[in-house]
Structures are given as C-alpha cells and as structure tokens.
Chain A
Amino acid sequence: MSTPVIDVIAFPAAITITTVTFGGLSGALHATKRGLDPIGVFTISLLCAVGGGIIRDVLLQAGVPTFLVNPQYLGLAAVAAVIGFFLSGLVRLVVPLITVVDTLLIGSWVLLGSEKALAYHLGFSAAILMGVITANGGGLVRDLLCGEVPSMVKPGEWYGLIAIIAAFIFVGMVGVGLPIGVAEITTMVVAAALRIAAIRGRWHTPTAYDLWGNLEARMTAGVEESLRKRDETLRKNTQRFSDASRD
C-alpha cells in the first residue's frame, strides 16, 4: 500500500476558528480559576488554543508555526484571555456550551494534525501521532505550566484515547482511498459520538493491569485472591492521582 498523500489541506476555516476560539476560552477559564495574572491567563489561553499546533509544526519542521503566520489566532487568544480575565462569571455561565463544543470538535483537532502530516508526505504512523499530539498538546502544555500532572496521562477522562481512535479512523479511511471529505466527516462524527458516550456512561480509562501477578495469584490462591489483588491495584492507582486531580 502506498503512503496516503492528500494534496491540499481542505479543512473548513470556520471549524478551525471555532475550535481554536473555544480552546482559548476553556484555557482562559482554567487559568482564571488558578488565580494567574494577565500574562499567565493570556499564555494559557494561547497555548490551549494553538499549543498542539505549535508542537505539530515544530515536529514537522514545517516552517514558522501557523499561529505566528496568521496573527488572527493570537488575536483570538487575546480576546479569549480578556473575556476570561474580566468576565469569568459569564464564561462560567456558558461552561455547558464550551463542553458541548469541545465534545463536538475533538475530531477536528485530530484532523488538524493528521492532515498536515499527510500533506507533508509522512506515513501512517506519523500522521496518527501528529493527530494525537495536536489534539492533546494544548492540554498537556496547559497542565505543565499550571504545575499539575497532565490530565492526558492521568487515569480518568476519555479524551486522549478518543483522539487516538479518531486518528486511526481518519488515516485508515484516507489510506483505503476514500474521499477526504468523507473521512473527515466520519472521523468527527465518530469522535463526537465516542466522547458523548464516554461522558454519559461515565467511562473511566483503564490503568495498568498486572496480568502476571493475577495469573500467579489465581494459580496459587484462587479466584478470590486474584480479584482482591486487582481491586487493590485499582485503588492504589486511583489514590495516586486523587490529590493531583482535585480542582
């Protein structure tokens, strides 16, 4: 199978702008909650909006990152920061809206990364990696700068996992040879559906499962001991992050 190559990055600008704006708003709210100063709120807002894109562009060595070439992104982040700084009460009112838009647009983050990787003649795995990094990079940098364990690596929310699945779907569909528009829409719909299901069903990402220890316990002590050991591991893993996850 030949490397999937797409010719032009054909992604609606309106969706890109919406994605970036709502990323910036959620970042500004996050920073305001932690009591940062104006520069901090702007930085976090900007990095939530375009942080994934910065990492993507630096890794792709694709010239100056997009947000520096198109200053509209800086402007959007600044507006989001000002709104978050002075009108955090208003932003808190529209948190459900932000959540819904985030849910619907998780696929578009992945597309922003994967399409650019494919446009630069990279292979499957690189395109998947770029999609995942673009989707998670903003939150990762945000948590690092706030001095927290990145929510991407903490057990809990189904966000990174959905990004991985969406990247696989998109790159797979493009690789099979489907039109790019179909692949885009399918990815976005599947990602949004997965995210909604994860939120509604309270899905929890699994932590490491000690298969060897469980087999050993099952052979020596029986099923009860094995189940007890599994519960203990789960509790330990949950407890390890419970302090850091407190907001």
Chain B
Amino acid sequence: MGSLLSTVDTSLTHAVSTTHVHMATTIDVLPTALPGWTQLAAVGVGAISGAAFAARRGFDVVGVLVLSVATGLGGLLLRDTLLQRGTSIVITDGRYLIIAALAAVIGFFFAGLVDRLEPVVVVLDALALGFLAAAGANAALAIQLPPVAAVFIGAATAAGGLVLRDLLAGIAPAIMRPGVLIAAAAFIGALVFTLLVVYTGIPRGQAQVIVVVVVFAIRVLAVRLQWRTRPARDLTDRIWDRWLVKPKKPVLPPILEPEPIPPSSVSTFSLPPDWDDTATFTRPPHWRSNDDDERDPS
C-alpha cells in the first residue's frame, strides 16, 4: 500500500508540474513611475461610476454598495482569481474596500452631481482604463505567462469591472454590444504594454505611463469623433463571388460606336400640306381582304 501511494504521489507531482508555473506566491507590485495611490484612485473612479450607475437605476443601499465594489474592484479581483497567486490584493489591502465604500456613499447621495460632471468622469475613466490594462498585463508577465495571455489578462482587468457590473445589474454586458469603444481601447492598451515590455525592454513604469497616454488618447478621440464598434459583417458571399466561383464570361464582339450621321444626309419627313387627319380609308373594290375566301369562294 505504501509503495502504491508513493508511486501515485510522484506521478501526481509530475502531472501537476506540467500545469503549474512555479513562481513566487505573490504578484509583484508594479515598479511604477507613478505614485502608489494611483491604483487606488483608478479603482475609486470605477467605483464611483458604478455607484452612480446603480443609483440612476434605482438600486437600494446594498445594491449601490455591491455595484460600486463590483465595478471598482471587479477587474483586479478577476485578474487575481485567474492568476491564482493567493488572496486578491483588493481583499488583503483594506484600503481598496474602503475606497469602494466611500465611492458608494458619493454615488448614493450625489448621483446627480456625478452625472453633471460627466466629462470629468469620462476623462478619469479613460485614465483608469489604461492604468488597469497595464497593471493586469504586468501581473501576468510577472509570473512569466506568455505574452498572449498577458494581453488577455490586461484587457480583462480593465474591462472586467464593467462586465461584472452589468451581470449583477441583470443586463447583457454593454461593452460587448456594438457601441462605445471601451473594451477595444483596453485591449490595445494591454497589447501596447506587452509589446513594449517584451520586445523593447523599457522599464515597466515608463511602459505604463505610455499605455495610460495611448489609451487616454484613444478614448478621448473615440468620444470626440464618436467612434463606434460594429456588429459582425458577413463577407462570405463577397469572397465566394470574388475567388471561389469564377463564372465564364461569354466573349462578346466589341460594341462599335455607330458612325455619326452627317447632318446633310438626314432625311426629313413632313406630311403634305393638304393632309386630312379625319379622312377615313375605304378599300377600293379591286383589293382583296384576307378573309374574302371564306366568305365568298367565288
């Protein structure tokens, strides 16, 4: 029995080690060029917009609190859940929940003010979006996940809060519908961060600042120029026509331009001046009609 267990154990460690990434048990804190409160601020901005969203839709106290926490902390929570490196930072660091609760209070009592300050909220949201995209991608790269996974984690960190908010509010997530360009901006931000860190090797703090600027520019341009994402377009028929089926065109003789008629040779026709419009035609007796034979065989 003992030998059986030991063989099982060794082989199990083999099986497990193929799926594990052996790294430190905590996610590295981003060595950022930005001060440490920026991540808290990014979370707070998301939480305020979530709380205002809930207040506008008539949720009660608990609803506003839950949606505020979900919108603000959802992205980081999703990141830490997927990366499986111990308890999420939003729970171990008590400041995150306090910020979200404060945001809920603001959203509950001052939803009207938040709505009136919409341009400010849009600007702050745009800044937070790029920040969170970089933070997510950085955490994935820190535990040595492949770059593709880092891009995904970055986009999920930035947009996860919005998805969670809509799920809890009982509506289909808005960022997956055609409309405002948020998730695509987050995706581009995570992509830029990963490319910068992996291929140029510039410090991650600087890369994050660049990503914040890029995503902010995309978001502001998208709002100003009203860029919108589009639903799927079916190109099958077009490709089918273009490449797969080539109908044989019949070879037609070239169409010749008719020769222009010289004006001198154009015949003109005019009725005689004594033409009587009202005259009726009577057949002369020596003309024969077609049905004369049947009527009169003689």
- Which of A31, A71, A86, A90 lies in contact with B146, CB distance below 8 A? A71
**Complex alpha-carbon distance, A64 and B18, angstroms:** 11
Residue total for B at the interface (Cβ-Cβ under 8 A): 48
How does the 8 Å CB contact mask read for A86-106 relative to B, with 1 for contact and 0 for none? 111110000000000000000
**Complex alpha-carbon distance, A234 and B140, angstroms:** 50
Asked whether any CB of chain B lies closer than 8 Å to the CB of A121, the reply is: yes
Residue with the greatest number of chain B CB neighbours at <10 A, chosen from A37, A58, A65, A146 = A37
State which residues 11-33 of B face A: CB under 8 Å. 11-12, 14-16, 19-21
**Complex alpha-carbon distance, A89 and B239, angstroms:** 11
> Are B172 and A147 touching (Cβ within 8 A)?
yes
How does the 8 Å CB contact mask read for A3-47 relative to B, with 1 for contact and 0 for none? 001011100000000000000000000011001111111011000
> Are A40 and B19 touching (Cβ within 8 A)?
no
Chain B residues with CB under 8 Å of A85's CB are: 232-233
> Are B15 and A38 touching (Cβ within 8 A)?
no
> Are B229 and A37 touching (Cβ within 8 A)?
yes
Asked whether any CB of chain B lies closer than 8 Å to the CB of A159, the reply is: no
Chain A residues with CB under 8 Å of B149's CB are: 64, 67-69, 71, 74
Residue with the greatest number of chain A CB neighbours at <10 A, chosen from B16, B81, B237 = B16
Chain A residues with CB under 8 Å of B153's CB are: 68
> Are B16 and A65 touching (Cβ within 8 A)?
no
Chain A residues with CB under 8 Å of B229's CB are: 37-39
> Are A69 and B232 touching (Cβ within 8 A)?
no
Chain B residues with CB under 8 Å of A43's CB are: 176
Whether A65 contacts B234 in the complex (CB less than 8 A), given A39-B184, A119-B16, A144-B167, comes out as: no
Given contacts A39-B176, A54-B82, A64-B82, could you give 15 more A-B pairs where the C-beta distance is less than 8 Å? A5-B12, A8-B14, A32-B231, A37-B229, A39-B184, A63-B19, A64-B143, A64-B149, A65-B84, A68-B82, A68-B140, A75-B148, A87-B235, A120-B16, A145-B172
Chosen A-B contacts, 19 in total, with CB atoms closer than 8 Å, are: A37-B178, A37-B183, A38-B184, A38-B232, A39-B176, A39-B183, A40-B177, A58-B84, A62-B16, A64-B149, A65-B84, A68-B82, A71-B149, A74-B152, A84-B232, A86-B236, A89-B234, A90-B236, A146-B172
